[in-house]
Amino acid sequence: MRLTTPTRRLRSAALIGGAALSLVLTGFGAPAAAVPADSAAAPVSPHTTGADDNAPPRAVVPARAATAAGGAGFSGTTGSGALTPSTSPAVTGARAPGAGLSGGFGADSVIGTDNRTRVNPTTTYPTSAIVQIIRVDGSTTWGCTGWVYGPNIIATAGHCVHPGGGADGGGGNGFYPRANYTIVPARNGGTNPYGTCTATQLMSVNGWMADGSADYDYGAIRLSCNAGASTGTFGFWWQSASLNGTATTVSGYPCDKTFGEQWRHAGMSVTSTAARRVYYQNDTAGCQSGAPVYQNRAAGSSFCVGQCTMAIHAYGGSSNSGTRITEPVYNNLISWRG
């Protein structure tokens, strides 16, 4: 299903089994109720956060946050590398690449020649901090990608945790059911170097949950494990200046490859910077939604040093794109991290 935007972007969470999506329109054709002028409610910010358990975020400012004029950042950690290997979970349902919402199978997100390379092994930082997100709904399996940015939390695309646009995913507060998730840090085909985790909280923002806007398509999953201590964590930053020309790497778990393999495309750069989106030519495919768009920033760089994320991959098209980490996105990620 294509999104009817000027760039014809495609949502990059892919349906691996067979399922139908329906769009629920609310209030169509109904007259708006009059609101007294002295009691009009203030508009809700698109960055207002929500969680599947309705719990408020735990606001903590990390000691490593670096703030300067025009931006702020948070540097990551390399982790201990301690392994807890296990066999990868079985995937239910027949695999059908390209079905449902695909994030650019074929030419939609592979731009020209496919320049992705498989990451093997996956235990070298920072690819150790990239996770496969598996959501099983009956006989249907969905795939997404996320990145570890705290001891027990990952960032991902909003549409990986909530259907958006006011739709109900069947779990708490309209999110997808938390119990349906398995998160596999650094999965490598049939093996899990760091074991598996479950979800203990799903989070996103009003701009995605209520409005379904691609500009606010971001979220997070709190984990049952402290994977970040072993895998390491990504840093991330925001800056008011354009990101054009900034080096980019995108790595994740595409569903046009063997399920559970991590694939990466490095050596590209940002081609266009919008207020809330970043565009690049890195090759991707469905199920890479939520992958980090990152670069290795040298010592002395502003805001963030080391492996640092600038955007959260979410859509495919003639240029692939992700949700830009702006100041409000950054503040939410920090708040959710706790």
Q: Which positions are catalytic?
A: 159, 289
Tokens of 291: 């992958």
Amino acid (1-letter code) at residue 197: C
| 218 in Cβ contact with 323 (< 8 Å) | yes
**Cα angle 103-48-69, degrees, rounded to a multiple of 5:** 90
**Residue whose tokens read 């408020």:** 56
Torsion on CA atoms 201, 326, 265, 180, rounded to nearest 10: 10
271 burial (CB, 10 Å; 0-12 / 13-18 / 19+) is: middle
Q: Which residues contact 136 (CB under 8 A, 6 or more apart)?
A: 91, 92, 93, 142, 180, 182
3-class secondary structure, 293: strand
Of 192, 233, 185, 225, nearest to 78 by C-alpha is 233
| 238 in Cβ contact with 329 (< 8 Å) | yes
Measure the CA–CA gap between 159 and 329, rounded to whole angstroms.
16
> Partners of 269 in the beta sheet?
247
Cα distances (Å, whole numbers) of residue 327 to 91, 168, 260, 273, 324: 38, 28, 33, 15, 9
